[in-house]
Structure 1
Amino acid sequence: MPKKWFQNWFNSPYYHILYQQRNNAEAEFFIDNLCEYLKPSAEANLLDIACGRGRHSIYLNKKGYDITGIDLSIASIQYAKQFENSHLHFYVHDMRYLFYVNYFDIALNLFTSFGYFDTDYEHVKALKNFQKALKPDGLLVLDYFNSNKVLNMLCPQMIKTVSGVDFNIHKKIENDKIIKTIEFEDQNKPYIFKEEVKAFSMGDFKLFFEQSGFEISHCFGNYNLEEFDPANSDRLIFICKKAL
């Protein structure tokens, strides 16, 4: 079976080159605000779903928390493992499959690390796994882009030069997906990758959470944790409780 786009792209070193501006300061700012809002206990067990190279997990661990990061990318987890300690662990794992049961106090799915799959069933299945991994009073934080704003401000074509590589980026809307095609050459070798992320709305998420056993307790629109504005917010950040 051919690999999905996210299995190829997230394992490529060029993914990290293109997005190297995603700096630790932004991640730490968001985590600081989340911790201030959620106030996890010192003994809390946290799960970072689709953790990438672990920037959120590593910072949470520095703040004293026990955290486990999971990601489908073998390359990303291999990189993250250099930071492991007795309270910080990383595993290669697909969110569509169960990982622990009734173990974690808080599950995090940050920086639009969702919406990658072909069917709603797969997305609900993933959310059900998040739900099962949480203790009865557990919380889920899911951070997505605000699709309303993204669709209204879509730039069909751009060239972005990073570390001497000219990335030709094309974006289009197709079958409710935002499809980004990334073409470039490096050392005279051509490359082409894709990103295909569902343009899920607030209504979509409400339905998915209902189907997977979550209740929305709050919704924020940016990393300052200001209220969500459908027209102007950059993010769509859900705080959800495990439904009893």
Structure 2
Amino acid sequence: MSEEQKPANINPEQPTETWFSSWFDTPYYHILYKERNDTEAQLFMDNITNYLNLPENAKVLDLACGKGRHSIYLNQLGFDVLGADLSENSIVEASKNTNDTLHFKVHDMREPFEEKYDAIFNLFTSFGYFEKDEDNLTTLIAIKESLSEYGFAVIDFMNVNQVLNTLVPEETKTVEGIHFHLKRYLKDGHIYKEIDFEDKGQKFHFTEKVKALTLQDFEALMEEAGIYLLDTFGDYKLKKFYRNESERLIMIFK
């Protein structure tokens, strides 16, 4: 999920419940995470689309697409792709890549789409952001309702057990001359990341907050949503999921 083009509405006193709509809409979010590995992302898309055996020209939804790096590559693979994200600035940036079979729109993932899709991808831990737990169920139901009769959905989430086992409580990352001071911790069933930095003489503070959803939590939500979990994988090479060791929790459902 998840910049620029128009000036970001940055307020150092952001209310927690809107952290994802404010933080993702700033250029600083994309500066901090600029090291994301495009080669790894493309390998994942190659592997998962082959696994799903999607038909040629399949209609694909990249849900919480950010600036569209996955959407663009999926389109290059030959699919008819819509990238959707809550961040208006990210969609403005992504839309520069629009063509006849690649489009982008601002959309809240809690709302279903009128169009039906052969595949829906929710990638890079773009789930579990909401203040209300019931919104996670609402989102799963919206995904279900946006799938075609034979469509598949994929959620690529962090493996909470592995994250907590390897959590770095504090560190500083310097990117483009900005020193990002990061603090991470578990509180009330959520994994928090406090982000403090200074730029152009102004101090900023943002908080990332993601529900610490385990596979068992997802299974319970999916059962309630009437979703069928078909398979799980533990990394982008689609290796087996191991509860305490796997890097990712990748779930395939319909």
TM-score range, shorter chain: over 0.9
* 1:175 paired to 2:188: yes
Quote the offset at 1:68 in angstroms.
Answer: 0.5
In structure 2, the residue matched to 1:106 is 119
In structure 2, the residue matched to 1:26 is 40
Cα-to-partner distance string for 1:73-112 (whole Å, 9 max, x where unaligned): 01110000000011001000010122225x1111100000
* 1:17 paired to 2:5: no
In structure 2, how many angstroms separate the alpha carbons of the residues matched to 1:65 and 1:165?
Answer: 38
In structure 2, how many angstroms separate the alpha carbons of the residues matched to 1:124 and 1:80?
Answer: 28
Equivalent residue for 2:146, pick from 120, 133, 138: 133
User: Quick one: which amino acid aligns to residue 241 of structure 2?
Assistant: F
In structure 1, the residue matched to 2:77 is 63
* 1:39 paired to 2:19: no
Q: Mind listing any 5+ residue stretches in structure 2 that lack a counterpart?
A: 1-13
User: Quick one: which amino acid aligns to residue 46 of structure 2?
Assistant: D
User: Quick one: which amino acid aligns to residue 220 of structure 2?
Assistant: L
User: Quick one: which amino acid aligns to residue 34 of structure 1?
Assistant: I
In structure 1, how many angstroms separate the alpha carbons of the residues matched to 2:73 and 2:188?
Answer: 37
TM norm structure 2: 0.92
In structure 1, how many angstroms separate the alpha carbons of the residues matched to 2:117 and 2:80?
Answer: 10
Quote the offset at 1:121 in angstroms.
Answer: 1.0
Do 2:112 and 2:142's aligned partners in 1 also have CA atoms closer than 8 Å?
Answer: yes
Do 2:64 and 2:83's aligned partners in 1 also have CA atoms closer than 8 Å?
Answer: yes
SS of residue in 1 equivalent to 2:134: helix
SS of residue in 2 equivalent to 1:4: helix
After TM superposition, the structure 1 = structure 2 runs for residues 147-158 of structure 1, keeping only pairs within 5 Å, are 147-158=160-171
Quote the offset at 1:128 in angstroms.
Answer: 0.5
User: Quick one: which amino acid aligns to residue 180 of structure 1?
Assistant: K
In structure 2, the residue matched to 1:185 is 198
* 1:123 paired to 2:136: yes
In structure 2, the residue matched to 1:49 is 63
In structure 2, how many angstroms separate the alpha carbons of the residues matched to 1:47 and 1:212?
Answer: 19
TM norm structure 1: 0.96
In structure 1, the residue matched to 2:230 is 217
In structure 1, the residue matched to 2:3 is none
The runs of 4+ residues in structure 1 deviating greater than 3 Å are none
Q: Percent identity?
A: 45
Quote the offset at 1:155 in angstroms.
Answer: 1.1
In structure 1, how many angstroms separate the alpha carbons of the residues matched to 2:253 and 2:155?
Answer: 8
In structure 2, how many angstroms separate the alpha carbons of the residues matched to 1:136 and 1:123?
Answer: 22
Do 2:52 and 2:152's aligned partners in 1 also have CA atoms closer than 8 Å?
Answer: no
In structure 1, how many angstroms separate the alpha carbons of the residues matched to 2:81 and 2:149?
Answer: 18
Count of matched residue pairs:
240
In structure 2, how many angstroms separate the alpha carbons of the residues matched to 1:213 and 1:26?
Answer: 32
In structure 2, how many angstroms separate the alpha carbons of the residues matched to 1:218 and 1:158?
Answer: 35
SS of residue in 1 equivalent to 2:192: strand
Quote the offset at 1:23 in angstroms.
Answer: 2.8
